[in-house]
Structure 1
Amino acid sequence: MAISARSDLAADLRSVVQGEVRFDSYSRALYSQDASIYSMEPAGVVLPKSVEDTQAVLEICNRNGVKVLSRGGGTGLSGQTVQEGAVVIDYTKYMHDVLEINVEEQWVRTQPGITLTELNRQLRPHGLMFTPDPSTASRATVGGAMGNNSCGAHSIIYGKTVDHVLGQDVVLSDGGIANFENVSGAALEAKLRVGGLEGDIYRTVRDVASRAAPLVEANFPKVLRRVGGYNLDLVNEPGGLNLAQLMVGSEGTLAAVTSARLNLVKIPEFSGLAVLHFK
Protein backbone atom coordinates (compact mmCIF):
# COMPACT_ATOMS: atom_id res chain seq x y z
CA MET A 1 0.00 0.00 0.00
CA ALA A 2 1.30 3.44 -0.93
CA ILE A 3 2.32 5.68 1.97
CA SER A 4 -0.25 8.34 1.05
CA ALA A 5 -3.08 5.79 0.85
CA ARG A 6 -2.05 4.31 4.19
CA SER A 7 -2.01 7.76 5.79
CA ASP A 8 -5.47 8.57 4.42
CA LEU A 9 -6.84 5.26 5.68
CA ALA A 10 -5.34 5.83 9.13
CA ALA A 11 -6.86 9.33 9.26
CA ASP A 12 -10.29 7.99 8.30
CA LEU A 13 -10.12 5.36 11.03
CA ARG A 14 -8.88 7.75 13.71
CA SER A 15 -11.77 10.11 12.99
CA VAL A 16 -14.34 7.55 14.19
CA VAL A 17 -12.61 4.78 16.19
CA GLN A 18 -12.53 5.29 19.96
CA GLY A 19 -9.88 2.61 20.44
CA GLU A 20 -6.30 2.67 19.21
CA VAL A 21 -5.31 3.06 15.56
CA ARG A 22 -1.69 2.08 15.02
CA PHE A 23 -0.18 2.57 11.57
CA ASP A 24 3.42 3.26 12.67
CA SER A 25 6.27 1.12 11.38
CA TYR A 26 6.88 -0.53 14.77
CA SER A 27 3.27 -1.74 15.09
CA ARG A 28 3.22 -2.96 11.51
CA ALA A 29 6.40 -4.94 12.14
CA LEU A 30 5.04 -6.31 15.43
CA TYR A 31 1.87 -7.61 13.79
CA SER A 32 3.64 -8.92 10.70
CA GLN A 33 4.39 -12.19 12.49
CA ASP A 34 2.67 -14.78 14.62
CA ALA A 35 3.85 -18.17 15.92
CA SER A 36 4.34 -19.43 12.36
CA ILE A 37 7.32 -19.02 10.04
CA TYR A 38 5.52 -16.43 7.92
CA SER A 39 6.05 -12.67 7.89
CA MET A 40 3.61 -10.32 6.12
CA GLU A 41 3.35 -6.63 6.92
CA PRO A 42 -0.17 -5.29 7.45
CA ALA A 43 -1.34 -1.81 6.47
CA GLY A 44 -2.04 -1.07 10.13
CA VAL A 45 -3.62 -2.26 13.35
CA VAL A 46 -6.80 -1.29 15.21
CA LEU A 47 -7.49 -2.14 18.86
CA PRO A 48 -11.26 -1.62 19.11
CA LYS A 49 -13.02 -0.71 22.33
CA SER A 50 -16.54 -1.58 21.17
CA VAL A 51 -18.78 -3.12 18.55
CA GLU A 52 -19.11 0.34 17.03
CA ASP A 53 -15.34 0.52 16.57
CA THR A 54 -15.39 -2.84 14.81
CA GLN A 55 -18.22 -1.66 12.58
CA ALA A 56 -16.27 1.45 11.64
CA VAL A 57 -13.22 -0.61 10.65
CA LEU A 58 -15.28 -2.90 8.41
CA GLU A 59 -17.21 -0.03 6.84
CA ILE A 60 -14.14 2.09 6.06
CA CYS A 61 -12.01 -0.80 4.83
CA ASN A 62 -14.86 -2.08 2.68
CA ARG A 63 -15.26 1.36 1.13
CA ASN A 64 -11.53 1.53 0.39
CA GLY A 65 -11.12 -2.05 -0.82
CA VAL A 66 -8.77 -2.95 2.05
CA LYS A 67 -8.62 -6.41 3.59
CA VAL A 68 -9.50 -6.89 7.27
CA LEU A 69 -8.00 -9.60 9.47
CA SER A 70 -9.20 -10.43 12.99
CA ARG A 71 -6.42 -11.58 15.32
CA GLY A 72 -6.39 -13.30 18.70
CA GLY A 73 -3.23 -14.25 20.57
CA GLY A 74 -1.25 -14.95 17.40
CA THR A 75 -0.49 -18.52 18.53
CA GLY A 76 -1.41 -20.18 15.23
CA LEU A 77 1.32 -22.12 13.45
CA SER A 78 0.10 -21.72 9.87
CA GLY A 79 0.18 -17.96 9.33
CA GLN A 80 -3.55 -17.44 9.95
CA THR A 81 -3.09 -14.06 11.63
CA VAL A 82 -0.73 -12.34 9.20
CA GLN A 83 -1.83 -10.78 5.92
CA GLU A 84 -0.03 -8.41 3.57
CA GLY A 85 -1.73 -5.02 3.34
CA ALA A 86 -4.60 -5.85 5.71
CA VAL A 87 -5.93 -3.88 8.64
CA VAL A 88 -5.52 -6.18 11.64
CA ILE A 89 -8.16 -6.04 14.39
CA ASP A 90 -6.73 -7.05 17.77
CA TYR A 91 -9.44 -7.55 20.43
CA THR A 92 -7.17 -8.62 23.27
CA LYS A 93 -6.57 -5.23 24.92
CA TYR A 94 -10.12 -3.94 25.31
CA MET A 95 -12.72 -6.50 24.17
CA HIS A 96 -12.01 -9.30 26.63
CA ASP A 97 -14.94 -9.23 29.07
CA VAL A 98 -17.25 -12.01 30.17
CA LEU A 99 -20.70 -10.54 29.52
CA GLU A 100 -23.02 -13.14 31.03
CA ILE A 101 -22.85 -16.53 32.72
CA ASN A 102 -25.96 -18.71 32.79
CA VAL A 103 -25.17 -21.41 35.31
CA GLU A 104 -28.55 -23.15 35.06
CA GLU A 105 -28.40 -23.54 31.26
CA GLN A 106 -24.60 -23.93 31.26
CA TRP A 107 -23.53 -21.26 28.80
CA VAL A 108 -21.46 -18.09 28.82
CA ARG A 109 -21.50 -15.01 26.62
CA THR A 110 -18.07 -13.46 26.20
CA GLN A 111 -16.11 -11.07 24.04
CA PRO A 112 -13.48 -12.58 21.72
CA GLY A 113 -10.30 -11.15 23.26
CA ILE A 114 -10.35 -13.14 26.51
CA THR A 115 -7.86 -16.00 26.81
CA LEU A 116 -9.12 -19.53 27.33
CA THR A 117 -7.33 -19.76 30.66
CA GLU A 118 -8.85 -16.53 31.95
CA LEU A 119 -12.34 -17.55 30.81
CA ASN A 120 -12.08 -20.82 32.69
CA ARG A 121 -10.68 -19.03 35.74
CA GLN A 122 -13.86 -16.94 35.88
CA LEU A 123 -16.05 -19.98 35.28
CA ARG A 124 -14.41 -22.17 37.93
CA PRO A 125 -16.35 -20.75 40.93
CA HIS A 126 -19.53 -21.89 39.14
CA GLY A 127 -18.19 -25.41 38.65
CA LEU A 128 -18.19 -25.01 34.86
CA MET A 129 -15.61 -24.90 32.08
CA PHE A 130 -15.19 -24.25 28.37
CA THR A 131 -13.62 -27.43 27.07
CA PRO A 132 -11.20 -26.63 24.20
CA ASP A 133 -7.75 -26.81 25.78
CA PRO A 134 -4.90 -26.29 23.32
CA SER A 135 -1.41 -26.14 24.78
CA THR A 136 -1.40 -22.36 24.21
CA ALA A 137 -4.53 -21.76 26.32
CA SER A 138 -2.84 -19.12 28.48
CA ARG A 139 -2.33 -16.94 25.38
CA ALA A 140 -4.88 -18.23 22.88
CA THR A 141 -8.17 -16.33 22.88
CA VAL A 142 -11.78 -17.39 22.50
CA GLY A 143 -11.87 -15.55 19.17
CA GLY A 144 -8.79 -17.41 18.00
CA ALA A 145 -10.19 -20.75 19.15
CA MET A 146 -13.33 -20.12 17.11
CA GLY A 147 -11.37 -18.96 14.07
CA ASN A 148 -9.12 -22.02 14.22
CA ASN A 149 -11.73 -24.51 15.48
CA SER A 150 -9.31 -25.45 18.23
CA CYS A 151 -9.32 -28.84 19.91
CA GLY A 152 -6.83 -29.79 22.60
CA ALA A 153 -5.84 -32.86 24.54
CA HIS A 154 -9.40 -33.70 25.63
CA SER A 155 -11.15 -33.28 22.28
CA ILE A 156 -11.87 -37.02 22.03
CA ILE A 157 -14.10 -36.58 25.06
CA TYR A 158 -15.51 -33.10 24.53
CA GLY A 159 -15.18 -32.46 20.79
CA LYS A 160 -13.94 -29.39 18.94
CA THR A 161 -14.72 -25.71 19.44
CA VAL A 162 -17.48 -25.88 16.82
CA ASP A 163 -19.30 -28.38 19.03
CA HIS A 164 -19.60 -25.76 21.77
CA VAL A 165 -20.37 -22.50 19.94
CA LEU A 166 -24.09 -21.81 20.35
CA GLY A 167 -24.15 -18.42 18.66
CA GLN A 168 -22.18 -15.35 17.67
CA ASP A 169 -22.73 -11.63 17.32
CA VAL A 170 -20.86 -10.54 14.21
CA VAL A 171 -20.07 -7.54 12.05
CA LEU A 172 -20.44 -8.24 8.34
CA SER A 173 -18.16 -6.96 5.58
CA ASP A 174 -20.38 -3.92 4.97
CA GLY A 175 -20.40 -2.98 8.67
CA GLY A 176 -23.84 -4.42 9.33
CA ILE A 177 -24.58 -6.33 12.55
CA ALA A 178 -25.99 -9.86 12.63
CA ASN A 179 -26.63 -12.57 15.18
CA PHE A 180 -25.84 -16.11 14.11
CA GLU A 181 -27.62 -18.77 16.14
CA ASN A 182 -29.64 -21.82 15.23
CA VAL A 183 -32.81 -20.87 13.35
CA SER A 184 -35.41 -23.24 11.97
CA GLY A 185 -38.96 -23.35 10.68
CA ALA A 186 -40.68 -19.99 10.34
CA ALA A 187 -37.67 -18.16 11.79
CA LEU A 188 -35.41 -19.59 9.09
CA GLU A 189 -37.90 -18.75 6.36
CA ALA A 190 -37.97 -15.17 7.67
CA LYS A 191 -34.17 -14.99 7.52
CA LEU A 192 -34.25 -16.21 3.93
CA ARG A 193 -36.61 -13.35 3.03
CA VAL A 194 -34.53 -10.63 4.70
CA GLY A 195 -33.04 -8.06 2.34
CA GLY A 196 -29.47 -6.82 2.30
CA LEU A 197 -26.24 -8.67 2.93
CA GLU A 198 -27.51 -10.81 5.83
CA GLY A 199 -30.36 -12.22 3.73
CA ASP A 200 -27.99 -12.80 0.81
CA ILE A 201 -25.71 -14.78 3.14
CA TYR A 202 -28.51 -17.07 4.34
CA ARG A 203 -29.77 -17.71 0.82
CA THR A 204 -26.31 -18.26 -0.66
CA VAL A 205 -25.07 -20.53 2.12
CA ARG A 206 -28.13 -22.74 1.90
CA ASP A 207 -27.85 -22.91 -1.89
CA VAL A 208 -24.10 -23.69 -1.90
CA ALA A 209 -24.42 -26.25 0.89
CA SER A 210 -27.30 -27.97 -0.91
CA ARG A 211 -25.43 -28.19 -4.22
CA ALA A 212 -22.21 -29.31 -2.53
CA ALA A 213 -23.86 -31.89 -0.26
CA PRO A 214 -23.01 -34.96 -2.41
CA LEU A 215 -19.36 -33.89 -2.71
CA VAL A 216 -19.16 -33.11 0.99
CA GLU A 217 -20.61 -36.50 1.91
CA ALA A 218 -18.24 -38.29 -0.45
CA ASN A 219 -15.03 -36.39 0.28
CA PHE A 220 -15.04 -34.87 3.77
CA PRO A 221 -13.00 -37.23 5.99
CA LYS A 222 -14.93 -38.97 8.74
CA VAL A 223 -12.51 -38.19 11.57
CA LEU A 224 -13.01 -36.70 15.02
CA ARG A 225 -10.66 -33.74 14.56
CA ARG A 226 -11.26 -32.50 11.02
CA VAL A 227 -10.66 -28.75 11.27
CA GLY A 228 -9.62 -27.86 7.72
CA GLY A 229 -11.87 -25.84 5.41
CA TYR A 230 -15.38 -24.51 5.90
CA ASN A 231 -17.86 -26.62 7.88
CA LEU A 232 -20.28 -27.19 5.01
CA ASP A 233 -21.05 -30.63 6.42
CA LEU A 234 -22.77 -28.97 9.39
CA VAL A 235 -24.88 -26.57 7.33
CA ASN A 236 -27.10 -29.34 5.96
CA GLU A 237 -27.77 -30.97 9.30
CA PRO A 238 -31.47 -31.38 10.17
CA GLY A 239 -32.97 -29.15 12.82
CA GLY A 240 -32.20 -25.74 11.37
CA LEU A 241 -29.33 -23.59 10.19
CA ASN A 242 -26.68 -22.09 12.47
CA LEU A 243 -24.24 -19.87 10.57
CA ALA A 244 -22.03 -19.71 13.67
CA GLN A 245 -21.01 -23.28 12.85
CA LEU A 246 -19.81 -22.09 9.44
CA MET A 247 -17.98 -19.17 11.05
CA VAL A 248 -16.00 -21.50 13.32
CA GLY A 249 -12.85 -22.58 11.54
CA SER A 250 -13.13 -19.87 8.88
CA GLU A 251 -10.04 -18.01 10.18
CA GLY A 252 -11.83 -14.66 10.18
CA THR A 253 -12.56 -14.73 6.44
CA LEU A 254 -16.35 -14.43 6.71
CA ALA A 255 -17.14 -11.81 9.38
CA ALA A 256 -15.77 -10.22 12.56
CA VAL A 257 -17.01 -11.77 15.81
CA THR A 258 -17.68 -9.30 18.64
CA SER A 259 -19.17 -11.75 21.15
CA ALA A 260 -20.10 -15.41 21.35
CA ARG A 261 -22.41 -17.64 23.36
CA LEU A 262 -20.55 -20.81 24.34
CA ASN A 263 -21.69 -24.12 25.76
CA LEU A 264 -20.16 -25.14 29.07
CA VAL A 265 -19.74 -28.46 30.87
CA LYS A 266 -19.34 -29.29 34.52
CA ILE A 267 -15.79 -29.54 35.80
CA PRO A 268 -15.02 -33.23 36.42
CA GLU A 269 -15.11 -34.19 40.07
CA PHE A 270 -11.85 -36.08 39.73
CA SER A 271 -8.90 -35.85 37.38
CA GLY A 272 -5.76 -37.90 37.07
CA LEU A 273 -2.68 -38.58 34.99
CA ALA A 274 -1.74 -41.93 33.49
CA VAL A 275 1.87 -42.53 32.45
CA LEU A 276 2.29 -45.37 29.96
CA HIS A 277 5.66 -47.01 29.28
CA PHE A 278 6.35 -48.80 26.01
CA LYS A 279 9.08 -51.33 25.32
Structure 2
Amino acid sequence: MATTAATRVRASERDDIENALKRRVSGEVRFDPFSRVLYSTDASIYQMEPVGVVIPRNVEDVLAVIEVANETGVPVLPRAGGTSLAGQTVNHAIVTDFSKYLNQIIEVNKEEQWARVQPGIVLDDLNRQLLPYGLMYAPDPTTSSRACVGGGVGNNTCGAHSVIYGKTLDHIKELDVVLSDGTQTHFQPLEARELEAKLSGAGLESDIYRGVRRLAQENAAEIEARYPNIMRRVSGYKLDEFLTDSPF
Protein backbone atom coordinates (compact mmCIF):
# COMPACT_ATOMS: atom_id res chain seq x y z
CA MET A 1 0.00 0.00 0.00
CA ALA A 2 1.32 3.43 -0.88
CA THR A 3 2.05 5.59 2.15
CA THR A 4 0.70 9.10 2.55
CA ALA A 5 1.14 11.90 5.05
CA ALA A 6 -1.98 10.70 6.88
CA THR A 7 -0.93 7.03 7.07
CA ARG A 8 2.59 7.99 8.15
CA VAL A 9 1.38 10.25 10.98
CA ARG A 10 0.84 8.07 14.04
CA ALA A 11 -1.56 9.06 16.80
CA SER A 12 1.26 10.28 19.04
CA GLU A 13 2.73 12.34 16.19
CA ARG A 14 -0.69 13.80 15.44
CA ASP A 15 -0.99 14.79 19.09
CA ASP A 16 2.43 16.48 18.95
CA ILE A 17 1.45 18.44 15.83
CA GLU A 18 -1.86 19.45 17.39
CA ASN A 19 -0.20 20.60 20.62
CA ALA A 20 2.46 22.57 18.74
CA LEU A 21 -0.24 24.35 16.76
CA LYS A 22 -2.36 25.08 19.83
CA ARG A 23 0.62 26.74 21.50
CA ARG A 24 1.18 29.09 18.55
CA VAL A 25 -2.22 29.62 16.89
CA SER A 26 -4.84 32.03 18.22
CA GLY A 27 -7.51 30.61 15.92
CA GLU A 28 -9.11 27.18 16.01
CA VAL A 29 -7.11 23.95 15.91
CA ARG A 30 -9.32 20.96 15.14
CA PHE A 31 -7.76 17.50 15.12
CA ASP A 32 -10.80 15.56 16.40
CA PRO A 33 -12.20 12.74 14.21
CA PHE A 34 -15.40 14.63 13.36
CA SER A 35 -13.53 17.67 12.02
CA ARG A 36 -11.13 15.51 10.04
CA VAL A 37 -14.04 13.69 8.37
CA LEU A 38 -15.88 16.99 7.79
CA TYR A 39 -12.88 18.43 5.94
CA SER A 40 -12.12 15.23 4.03
CA THR A 41 -14.52 16.19 1.22
CA ASP A 42 -15.35 19.15 -0.97
CA ALA A 43 -17.71 19.51 -3.94
CA SER A 44 -15.78 16.83 -5.85
CA ILE A 45 -16.09 13.04 -5.70
CA TYR A 46 -12.84 12.71 -3.73
CA GLN A 47 -12.41 12.00 -0.02
CA MET A 48 -9.05 12.33 1.75
CA GLU A 49 -8.82 12.71 5.50
CA PRO A 50 -6.56 15.59 6.58
CA VAL A 51 -3.95 15.32 9.30
CA GLY A 52 -5.83 18.11 11.05
CA VAL A 53 -7.59 21.43 10.50
CA VAL A 54 -6.60 24.98 11.44
CA ILE A 55 -8.95 27.96 11.13
CA PRO A 56 -6.64 31.00 11.33
CA ARG A 57 -7.70 34.37 12.69
CA ASN A 58 -4.78 36.36 11.26
CA VAL A 59 -1.57 36.21 9.24
CA GLU A 60 0.40 35.26 12.35
CA ASP A 61 -1.66 32.07 12.59
CA VAL A 62 -0.85 31.25 8.97
CA LEU A 63 2.85 31.75 9.65
CA ALA A 64 2.58 29.46 12.67
CA VAL A 65 0.98 26.72 10.56
CA ILE A 66 3.78 26.96 7.99
CA GLU A 67 6.37 26.86 10.76
CA VAL A 68 4.91 23.73 12.39
CA ALA A 69 4.45 22.06 9.00
CA ASN A 70 8.10 22.62 8.11
CA GLU A 71 9.21 21.31 11.50
CA THR A 72 7.13 18.13 11.18
CA GLY A 73 7.30 17.51 7.42
CA VAL A 74 3.52 17.64 6.97
CA PRO A 75 2.00 19.42 3.93
CA VAL A 76 -0.26 22.46 4.22
CA LEU A 77 -3.42 22.87 2.12
CA PRO A 78 -5.25 26.24 2.01
CA ARG A 79 -9.04 25.99 1.78
CA ALA A 80 -11.90 28.45 1.53
CA GLY A 81 -15.40 27.63 0.23
CA GLY A 82 -14.63 24.03 -0.71
CA THR A 83 -16.52 24.34 -4.00
CA SER A 84 -13.74 22.72 -6.04
CA LEU A 85 -14.86 20.01 -8.44
CA ALA A 86 -11.48 18.30 -8.88
CA GLY A 87 -10.46 17.72 -5.26
CA GLN A 88 -8.27 20.81 -4.92
CA THR A 89 -9.20 21.35 -1.25
CA VAL A 90 -8.80 17.81 0.10
CA ASN A 91 -5.51 16.14 0.94
CA HIS A 92 -3.56 14.38 3.68
CA ALA A 93 -2.32 17.69 5.06
CA ILE A 94 -2.96 20.41 7.61
CA VAL A 95 -6.02 21.94 5.99
CA THR A 96 -6.13 25.69 6.65
CA ASP A 97 -9.63 27.16 6.32
CA PHE A 98 -9.67 30.91 5.59
CA SER A 99 -13.44 31.28 5.21
CA LYS A 100 -14.51 31.76 8.84
CA TYR A 101 -12.36 34.66 10.05
CA LEU A 102 -10.26 36.02 7.16
CA ASN A 103 -13.26 37.12 5.11
CA GLN A 104 -13.31 40.91 5.23
CA ILE A 105 -12.94 43.84 2.85
CA ILE A 106 -9.96 45.84 4.09
CA GLU A 107 -10.17 48.82 1.77
CA VAL A 108 -12.13 50.08 -1.25
CA ASN A 109 -10.83 52.75 -3.62
CA LYS A 110 -13.79 53.90 -5.69
CA GLU A 111 -11.81 56.37 -7.79
CA GLU A 112 -9.17 53.83 -8.85
CA GLN A 113 -11.74 51.01 -8.91
CA TRP A 114 -10.04 48.44 -6.70
CA ALA A 115 -10.62 46.72 -3.39
CA ARG A 116 -8.23 45.05 -0.95
CA VAL A 117 -9.80 41.91 0.52
CA GLN A 118 -8.99 38.85 2.60
CA PRO A 119 -8.96 35.45 0.87
CA GLY A 120 -11.99 33.99 2.65
CA ILE A 121 -14.57 36.51 1.49
CA VAL A 122 -17.42 34.95 -0.53
CA LEU A 123 -17.82 36.34 -4.05
CA ASP A 124 -21.48 37.30 -3.64
CA ASP A 125 -20.76 38.96 -0.28
CA LEU A 126 -17.95 40.94 -1.88
CA ASN A 127 -20.15 42.19 -4.71
CA ARG A 128 -22.98 43.00 -2.31
CA GLN A 129 -20.64 45.26 -0.35
CA LEU A 130 -19.16 46.78 -3.53
CA LEU A 131 -22.58 47.68 -4.95
CA PRO A 132 -22.86 51.07 -3.15
CA TYR A 133 -19.54 52.06 -4.77
CA GLY A 134 -20.80 51.16 -8.24
CA LEU A 135 -18.16 48.44 -8.48
CA MET A 136 -18.26 44.70 -9.19
CA TYR A 137 -15.78 41.84 -9.03
CA ALA A 138 -16.38 40.20 -12.40
CA PRO A 139 -15.59 36.45 -12.09
CA ASP A 140 -18.97 34.77 -11.60
CA PRO A 141 -18.82 30.97 -11.21
CA THR A 142 -22.10 29.20 -10.54
CA THR A 143 -20.95 28.68 -6.93
CA SER A 144 -20.50 32.41 -6.26
CA SER A 145 -22.78 32.22 -3.21
CA ARG A 146 -20.18 29.96 -1.52
CA ALA A 147 -16.93 30.28 -3.46
CA CYS A 148 -14.29 32.63 -2.05
CA VAL A 149 -11.81 35.01 -3.63
CA GLY A 150 -8.78 33.04 -2.40
CA GLY A 151 -9.94 29.84 -4.03
CA GLY A 152 -10.67 31.76 -7.20
CA VAL A 153 -7.08 33.00 -7.27
CA GLY A 154 -5.82 29.44 -6.89
CA ASN A 155 -8.08 28.12 -9.66
CA ASN A 156 -8.16 31.19 -11.93
CA THR A 157 -11.94 31.15 -11.61
CA CYS A 158 -13.91 32.39 -14.59
CA GLY A 159 -17.69 32.01 -14.94
CA ALA A 160 -20.39 32.43 -17.54
CA HIS A 161 -19.44 36.01 -18.44
CA SER A 162 -15.65 35.61 -18.46
CA VAL A 163 -15.46 35.82 -22.26
CA ILE A 164 -16.64 39.42 -21.91
CA TYR A 165 -15.27 40.45 -18.51
CA GLY A 166 -12.23 38.20 -18.11
CA LYS A 167 -10.99 35.57 -15.68
CA THR A 168 -9.61 36.02 -12.17
CA LEU A 169 -6.09 36.73 -13.44
CA ASP A 170 -7.49 39.68 -15.38
CA HIS A 171 -8.77 41.28 -12.16
CA ILE A 172 -5.98 40.72 -9.63
CA LYS A 173 -3.68 43.72 -9.28
CA GLU A 174 -1.47 42.62 -6.36
CA LEU A 175 -1.18 39.72 -3.90
CA ASP A 176 0.20 39.43 -0.37
CA VAL A 177 1.49 35.86 -0.12
CA VAL A 178 3.04 33.55 2.46
CA LEU A 179 5.42 31.14 0.73
CA SER A 180 6.08 27.55 1.80
CA ASP A 181 9.17 28.51 3.82
CA GLY A 182 7.24 31.16 5.75
CA THR A 183 8.51 34.08 3.68
CA GLN A 184 5.98 36.90 3.35
CA THR A 185 6.10 38.56 -0.03
CA HIS A 186 4.12 40.91 -2.23
CA PHE A 187 3.49 40.10 -5.89
CA GLN A 188 2.73 42.99 -8.23
CA PRO A 189 3.71 44.17 -11.72
CA LEU A 190 7.45 44.91 -11.88
CA GLU A 191 9.49 47.33 -13.91
CA ALA A 192 12.56 45.94 -15.70
CA ARG A 193 14.95 47.08 -12.95
CA GLU A 194 12.74 45.60 -10.23
CA LEU A 195 12.52 42.29 -12.10
CA GLU A 196 16.29 42.06 -12.45
CA ALA A 197 16.64 42.62 -8.70
CA LYS A 198 14.21 39.77 -8.04
CA LEU A 199 16.00 37.46 -10.48
CA SER A 200 19.39 38.13 -8.92
CA GLY A 201 18.19 37.87 -5.32
CA ALA A 202 18.42 35.05 -2.79
CA GLY A 203 15.66 33.04 -1.17
CA LEU A 204 12.53 31.23 -2.28
CA GLU A 205 10.85 34.27 -3.83
CA SER A 206 13.75 34.83 -6.22
CA ASP A 207 13.88 31.08 -6.91
CA ILE A 208 10.26 31.30 -8.07
CA TYR A 209 10.97 34.17 -10.45
CA ARG A 210 13.99 32.38 -11.89
CA GLY A 211 12.20 29.04 -12.13
CA VAL A 212 9.14 30.35 -13.95
CA ARG A 213 11.26 32.35 -16.37
CA ARG A 214 13.52 29.36 -17.06
CA LEU A 215 10.58 27.03 -17.71
CA ALA A 216 9.06 29.47 -20.17
CA GLN A 217 12.32 30.19 -21.99
CA GLU A 218 13.44 26.55 -22.22
CA ASN A 219 10.07 25.47 -23.62
CA ALA A 220 9.25 28.56 -25.67
CA ALA A 221 9.02 26.73 -29.00
CA GLU A 222 6.68 24.06 -27.63
CA ILE A 223 4.56 26.66 -25.84
CA GLU A 224 4.15 28.77 -28.99
CA ALA A 225 3.38 25.70 -31.10
CA ARG A 226 0.97 23.88 -28.80
CA TYR A 227 -0.78 26.31 -26.45
CA PRO A 228 -4.32 26.85 -27.78
CA ASN A 229 -5.38 30.33 -28.84
CA ILE A 230 -8.84 30.42 -27.29
CA MET A 231 -10.70 33.13 -25.39
CA ARG A 232 -11.16 31.26 -22.12
CA ARG A 233 -8.50 28.80 -20.97
CA VAL A 234 -8.10 27.98 -17.28
CA SER A 235 -6.55 24.50 -17.31
CA GLY A 236 -2.84 23.85 -16.89
CA TYR A 237 -0.13 26.43 -16.31
CA LYS A 238 -0.19 29.69 -18.25
CA LEU A 239 3.48 29.59 -19.20
CA ASP A 240 2.61 31.36 -22.45
CA GLU A 241 2.12 34.51 -20.35
CA PHE A 242 5.83 34.43 -19.47
CA LEU A 243 7.41 34.21 -22.91
CA THR A 244 8.29 37.89 -22.46
CA ASP A 245 9.05 39.83 -19.30
CA SER A 246 5.86 41.89 -19.58
CA PRO A 247 3.73 39.76 -17.17
CA PHE A 248 6.20 40.42 -14.36
Question: Which TM-score band applies after superposition, normalised by the shorter structure?
Answer: over 0.9
Deviation at 1:240, TM superposition (A): 4.7
Whole-angstrom CA distance in 1 between matches of 2:174 and 2:237: 17
CA deviation string 1:211-261 (max 9, x = no partner): 1222221222222221111221112344351xxxxxxxxxxxxxxxxxxxx
Report the equivalent of 1:70. Answer: 78
Letter in 1 for 2:109: N
- Work out whether 1:47 is the aligned partner of 2:49: no
Letter in 2 for 1:73: G
TM-score after normalising by structure 1: 0.83
Within 5 A, what are the aligned runs for 1:99-178?
99-178=106-185
Report the equivalent of 2:190. Answer: 183
Which of 200, 213, 230 is the equivalent residue of 2:237? 230
Please say if residues 184 and 240 of structure 1, whose CA atoms lie closer than 8 Å, have aligned partners that are also in contact: no
Whole-angstrom CA distance in 2 between matches of 1:220 and 1:5: 45
Whole-angstrom CA distance in 1 between matches of 2:187 and 2:23: 30
Letter in 2 for 1:47: I
Report the equivalent of 2:27. Answer: 19
Q: Which runs of 5+ in 1 are unaligned?
A: 242-279
Q: Which runs of 5+ in 2 are unaligned?
A: 1-8
Whole-angstrom CA distance in 1 between matches of 2:136 and 2:43: 26
- Misfit runs of 4+, over 2 Å: 235-240
Please say if residues 55 and 98 of structure 2, whose CA atoms lie closer than 8 Å, have aligned partners that are also in contact: yes
Percent of matched pairs sharing the same residue: 55
Between stretches 220-229 and 14-23, larger displacement belongs to: 220-229
Letter in 2 for 1:158: Y
Report the equivalent of 2:3. Answer: none
Which of 77, 81, 93 is the equivalent residue of 2:89? 81
CA deviation string 1:23-52 (max 9, x = no partner): 110000000000111110000111111111
Please say if residues 101 and 107 of structure 1, whose CA atoms lie closer than 8 Å, have aligned partners that are also in contact: yes
Report the equivalent of 2:66. Answer: 58
Secondary structure of 2:130's partner?
helix
Deviation at 1:206, TM superposition (A): 1.4
Relative to 1, partners in 2 of residues 1:27 and 1:144: Cα closer, same or farther, differing over 3 Å?
same
- Work out whether 1:29 is the aligned partner of 2:29: no
TM-score after normalising by structure 2: 0.93
Secondary structure of 1:33's partner?
coil
Relative to 1, partners in 2 of residues 1:142 and 1:240: Cα closer, same or farther, differing over 3 Å?
closer
Whole-angstrom CA distance in 2 between matches of 1:101 and 1:64: 39
Secondary structure of 1:179's partner?
strand
Secondary structure of 2:119's partner?
coil
Please say if residues 188 and 240 of structure 1, whose CA atoms lie closer than 8 Å, have aligned partners that are also in contact: no
Deviation at 1:90, TM superposition (A): 0.4
Between stretches 133-142 and 158-167, larger displacement belongs to: 158-167
Aligned length: 240
Please say if residues 55 and 171 of structure 1, whose CA atoms lie closer than 8 Å, have aligned partners that are also in contact: yes
Whole-angstrom CA distance in 2 between matches of 1:240 and 1:138: 31
Deviation at 1:93, TM superposition (A): 0.6
